[in-house]
Structures are given as structure tokens and as C-alpha cells.
Chains A and B, each alone.
Chain A
Amino acid sequence: MSSTGTAPNTVVELVGVGKQYPGGVTALRGVDLTIDDGELLAIVGPSGSGKSTLLHIVGTLDRPSSGSVAIAGHDVAALSDGRLSALRAQHVGFVFQAFHLVPGISAQDNVAEGLLYSGLPRAERRRRAAAALERVGLADRMDHKPHQLSGGQKQRVAIARAVVGEPDLLLADEPTGALDSASGEAVMELLHDLNKEGATIAVITHDSEIADRLPRQVRIRDGRVVADTRQARTSGGTGADARTDAAPDSAPGTGTDAGAVAV
């Protein structure tokens, strides 16, 4: 990460983003979202609320039906497939609920795949992959194939693959969704540590407990942002909405943070 240290740089800037899927489903409506360099935030909401859709649009895997998206200062709408791919290769890292490791190749090679489209020579890719695996605590599992790893280890390999290119933004879609609580805990801890080292991370989750332990929560419901703890200038009306809408899936302990913003 190459943050200048003075004013925070904006990594993600979504303005009025809407998404309609073919068949008439409106997954997102009028979403404004700004993520600054060095942030660690949760995008939280019930299943079907549009979190994954939002992540795909932020990650430039999909384009919005309306509104504008700027990632790392690039206006996504203006980019061709080739440039968009380069944007992902250089600026965005993904972690998926289902890991999506390539079967049959070692952990080190899986992580090195994260640099395949970056233009680095193979030896350098493997060297950096080894360092990234070491960083996530899997130095002793370099040569293990995915089927020889536990779920938590697989997810840590996937995280190493996502961060090995030092992206400006790490997007994690339900990273603990397929893990037992202990492994999930370890994965969240790793994300916290990476954030302390400077990584900008957005974690998607339906689990308020996980969300509430992150510095910032963006609550989403029926495709709308109903609360965002960053928005100090939120109007009273939106805040009331946030309160009522977010209430059903808010755990008891979340009251303080959410309330502080809403009021």
C-alpha cells in the first residue's frame, strides 16, 4: 500500500448505483458508498439484500445499470474489458466464501496464480507467493494441495492469493461462511492484522456479530444502504430508516455503534 499519510485517498467511490438483473430483479437501488484508503469495513445485511451484487460491482466484475463507479480513481464505465481486467489485476483482491482454489496444484502455486496476470516473471511470482503464505501463517504448508488443507487453511491460502499483489482494495465475500467458528475467528483476526499493516478491506457478511467487531458497518437491505457508520453527516430521515430496517438482524451488542451514527 502506498498511502501518502496526509489526507485519506478514496479507493472506492459509488454514486447512485443501481443494478437490475435480467428478469426484473432490482438488486441495488441508489447506493452511495465511499471507501477510503486503510479502512476496514463490513457490508452487512440479510441474505438476498444485494451484498454480493455490491461486491461484484465494487470489484468491477459486473457493471451497474445506473450510477457511477470509480475504483482507485478510474471511472469504470469508461474502461474496456482489457483495462478493467488490468484494474482488477493491479488494484483489487478477492476472497470468496467457497475459496475457489485451483485443485491439484500446491498452496504456493495457488497463491502465485494471484500474480499470473500482473506481468511478473514466474520465479518472482513464486517467491512473493511464499512470502505471502508465510505472512498468513502457512509457511509449513507451501507444497500442500488444496484437498490436503482444512477449510480455515484454504481460506488463508485464498487470502494470501488476494493480498500477494498488494491490492488497494481487498474484497471478502462471506469469508467465514464456510468455516467453523474457531477457523472463522482466525480468518477475521488475520484480516484485522492485514488492515493494521495498511490494507483496505471490505468484508461482506450476514453475521452482525462479525460486522460489529469491525471499525465501520455499512448496513444494506433490499438493495439500499440503510445505515453507514461512516456517514457523520447522515440526515435524520435516513437515520430513522436505518434504525427500523437494521433492527431485525442486529445483535443486541450492536446498539452503541449504530445508535451513535444514527442519532
Chain B
Amino acid sequence: MRRTALSPARLSARDVFHVGSAGLRGRPLRVVLSALGIALGIATMIAVVGISSSSKAQLIRELDRLGTNMLVVTPGDALFTGQDARLPKEAPGMIGRIPGVEQVGATGDIKQSVRRSEKIPEGDTGGIAVKATTEELLKTLRGSVRSGSWLNKATGRYPSVVLGSVAADRLGITAPGQQVFIGGRYFTVTGILDPLPLAPEIERSALVGWDAAERLLGFDGHPTSVYERSTDAAVAAVRDLVPRTANPQNPQVVKVTDPSAALQAKAATDGAFTNLLLGLGGVALLVGGVGVANTMIISVLERRHEIGLRRSLGATRGQIRIQFVTESLMLSGLGGLAGIALGSLATFVYATTGRLPWVVPPWAVSGGFGATLIIGTVAGLYPAVRAARLSPTLALHAA
């Protein structure tokens, strides 16, 4: 007779995996259905985080392209002081001489309206401003021309106009060569601009060359906005020097703004909408966890005989527990993997259709998968404990 010491053998990791997955292999449809809840929850969360990250990456990429080294100088508000707030005609040139400044462009407001034809009433501006512009403006803004060409020395002197993207849409101008009516005469549209995220006011403008504006539209020659781009290192110093330089008589009324600040702020925030969707994903995940727990309870009931058999073959209570926790872990883990794939795919589709970079943050993927493992353990624990407590003799009862 062998009188070996009685100590239960340990199952290898591979055996645990095998025993835990045995219940799943026989019931693929049930696996799909019960993992679905978790998959949808994880997919929602991954997609929400992915889409928000992709949009953010796009903003940052845009900021990189547009630069954060441009300042806009405007006359500010002098209503109460009664001082002459207008920027001097020399302001752009003076600003250009500040050390570190590389490009300077300027626009000046013109009290005229732009219309598609003389038949349209003069009051109908459509929210479009007419501005005089220097040639350097487009380069300073790092803007580009969608069609046609930007103003140059030659076109700047003749009745020609370049439209911002919004202005062109509102006027119904689709291609250069068409004409618009400004200040009692027709101007030929020579170019239409791409959107300008740093200068939305230019998107809504009809731009006429500086000299032509003075000659044909009664422009007084005073700039109303000076756009200045410097080296990155000089931005702070330039900002300090600009008021005195632009308007030496009344430096206190000069207003200096950084249009990239708003974009930066946008890139730094998570929308409330994102949080709401994340919460929804969390609820789906929770419901998915309840679904897994439910499936596990049914699985334990159905497999009473198997549990009794395993106990008769020498399985300890602990080994029965591990078997069912493993099964639950696999069930939710599979759901998690499917959810990660699904969420990444949704993000990919959104990113490619919106021409955004495809970003799915690794922390979201590992966090999501970690969450499914926790849910799998919690959901499987109660059914597993019940399975382990089952009396082997009752479990083996034939009926």
C-alpha cells in the first residue's frame, strides 16, 4: 500500500487555462453574447478617449504649423479716455524694427460694404468686412490660397480683391475671375483663401491692396490690426515693447493679443461631453459585468455533474474556484479585447474621415483591459465560491 503524504498537486498555469476555457469552447454563441456587454462598454470608452485624443493631436499639430509666436496689435478701446486711439500709419514699420520680429502684416478697416452686384441693397453686408491689406499679411499668418493668387504689387494697385474663405462662401463666389461690387465699382476676385484658424476675422473679409484702398475707396491709411511674427524666444520681449513702439503717444490704449492662446486652451481641455460618454461606457461595462456574472451562475448550475466529477477525481475546493474564476476572466477578457479592437476601429474610421491623426492612447488600452480583468474576477468570484461549496455527492446525483 502506498502511504504517500497527502498533499494536493498544484495545477500548472497551462492546465488552469485549459480547464478554465473548456466550458467556453463548447458554447461559442453564449460566449459572444455574454462578452458583448463588456465589449460595447470598452469599445465606447476606447472610442471616446481615442476620438478626443485624435482631435487633440490634430489641434496640437495645427498649433505646430501655425506657431505660437504671432501677436496681434489693435487700437484698443479709447472711448472713455477720449484719446486718439488710432494706430499711427507708421506703426507696422516701427513694429518691424523691434529686435526678433521677422514678419509684419497689417489690415485697415474700410467703411464700405461688399456685395455681389449693385442691385443688392447697400445695408446687406452679410457680416463681411472690407479691409485694406499689406502684401505681407498672408505670409505672417502662414495662410494659403485655396484658388487664384494672393495680392501682389501689380494687382494691389488695380480694382482687385481677395476673399477670405467665409466671405467667398457668403457671397457665393466659387472661383477667381468673378466680380464683386465695393464702393461704387466692380472689383475682380483674384484669389480665395483657405481657412485661417489664427485669424477668423480675415476669413470674413474682402481684402483690397493698401494703395488701391487709399485711391479707390477713401481708406485713411491707418492700420486697425497689425499682425507680427517674431522668433519664439523674442515673443515676451516683443510683447512688452509693442505698445510704445506702435503708438508712442498713447501706449496705454494699445491692445496686444495672442490668438494661439485660445487654441492652446482648447487643446488642454476635456469636454464635458467626453466625460458624459465615458460615464455611459462605464455603465455599459458594469452591465456587461453583471451579464458575465449571470452567465457564470448558469454555467455552474449546468455543470454540477462536472464539478462533482472533478471533486471525485481529486480537485480541491480551491481548484474548482480557480477553474470558474479563470472562465469568468477569459469571458470578460475576450470581451475586453473585442472592445479594444472595436473602439480602435471606430477611432480609425473617425480619424481617417476627418483627416485627423489616429491616436489611441496606450494608457486607455491597458486601463480598459485592466478594468475587464477586475470585472471578470469580481463577476466570477461568487459563482466560483458557490461551485466550490457544492457538495460532491449532490453534484453527482444522476437526476
B19 contacts which of A9, A96, A116 (Cβ < 8 Å)?
A116
Interface 9-residue window, one of A80-88, A133-141, A202-210: A80-88
Considering the complex, give the chain A residue whose CB is closest to the CB of B319: A117
A100 contacts which of B1, B309, B319 (Cβ < 8 Å)?
B309
Which of chain B's residues have a CB closer than 8 A to the CB of A116? 11, 15, 19, 310, 313, 315
Which of chain A's residues have a CB closer than 8 A to the CB of B3? 72-74
Q: Contact mask B273-316 → A, CB, 8 Å, 1/0?
A: 00000000000000000000000000000000110111111111
A102 and B11 contact, Cβ closer than 8 Å, known pairs A82-B318, A116-B19: no
Q: Contact mask A88-121 → B, CB, 8 Å, 1/0?
A: 1111101011101011110000000110111101
A62 contacts which of B6, B391, B398 (Cβ < 8 Å)?
B391
Are B313 and A88 in touch, CB under 8 angstroms?
yes
Complex: how many Å from CA A7 to CA B15? 40
Considering the complex, give the chain B residue whose CB is closest to the CB of A120: B9
Which of chain B's residues have a CB closer than 8 A to the CB of A89? 8-9, 313-314
Does B353 sit within 8 A of A, measured CB to CB? no
| Chain B proximity of A125: nearest CB distance (Å) | 9
B8 contacts which of A83, A94, A96 (Cβ < 8 Å)?
A83
A79 and B6 contact, Cβ closer than 8 Å, known pairs A88-B313, A100-B305: yes
Q: How large is the interface on B (under 10, 10 to 19, 20 to 34, 35 or more residues)?
A: 35 or more
Which of chain A's residues have a CB closer than 8 A to the CB of B305? 98, 100
Are A117 and B1 in touch, CB under 8 angstroms?
no
Are B11 and A105 in touch, CB under 8 angstroms?
no
Identify which of B6, B12, B310 gathers the most chain A CB atoms within 10 Å of its CB. B6
Give the residues from 196 to 250 in chain B that come closer than 8 angstroms, CB to CB, to chain A. Answer: none
Q: Contact mask B1-27 → A, CB, 8 Å, 1/0?
A: 111101111111011000100100110
Are B314 and A82 in touch, CB under 8 angstroms?
no
Contacts A/B (CB < 8 Å), 12 sampled: A3-B1, A72-B2, A72-B3, A82-B8, A85-B311, A90-B2, A90-B314, A94-B313, A98-B305, A102-B306, A119-B10, A122-B15
- Chain A positions near chain B (C-beta within 8 angstroms): 2-4, 9, 11, 37, 52, 56, 59, 61-62, 72-74, 79, 81-92, 94, 96-98, 100, 102-105, 113-114, 116-119, 121-122, 161, 168
Q: Apart from A90-B4, A117-B316, list 15 A-B contacts with CB within 8 A.
A: A2-B1, A61-B311, A62-B391, A83-B6, A83-B8, A85-B314, A89-B9, A94-B313, A100-B306, A100-B396, A116-B11, A116-B19, A116-B313, A117-B8, A122-B14
